[in-house]
Amino acid sequence: VSIRADFRGRGVGWTMLDLIAEEARKRGLKRVISIEDRDNHSTIALEREKGFVAHGMDGDPRLVMLEKTF
């Protein structure tokens, strides 16, 4: 999910993560995974607020995997 710069800080990312999680649950998915650059602090913080748990990525220290389970 990417939010255009002039729409950041308006709750668009927050709403999109809610919609993604809702649709995943409806479809019977057990988890949602996001892979982010370690320096993308704002997105990582947002996803953690929405219940995602951060894990390191094997083989690439620049990336972090965030996982939300249902």
Q: Do residues 64 and 54 lie in contact, with contact meaning Cβ atoms separated by under 8 Å?
A: yes
In the DSSP assignment, the letter for residue 38 is T
pLDDT of residue 1: 76
pLDDT of residue 54: 96
Sign, Cα dihedral of 14, 17, 23, 24: negative
Kindly list the structural domains of the chain, giving each domain's residue range(s) and its CATH number in brackets, ordered by start.
5-69 (3.40.630.30)
How deeply is 52 buried, as exposed, middle or buried, from its count of CB atoms within 10 A (0-12, 13-18, 19+)? buried
Q: How many C-alpha atoms does 66 have within 13 Å on its Cβ side?
A: 18
Ordered per-residue pLDDT tens for the chain, 70 residues: 788 999 988 999 899 999 999 999 999 999 999 999 999 999 999 999 999 999 998 889 999 999 999 9
Structure token pair of residue 55: 């894990």
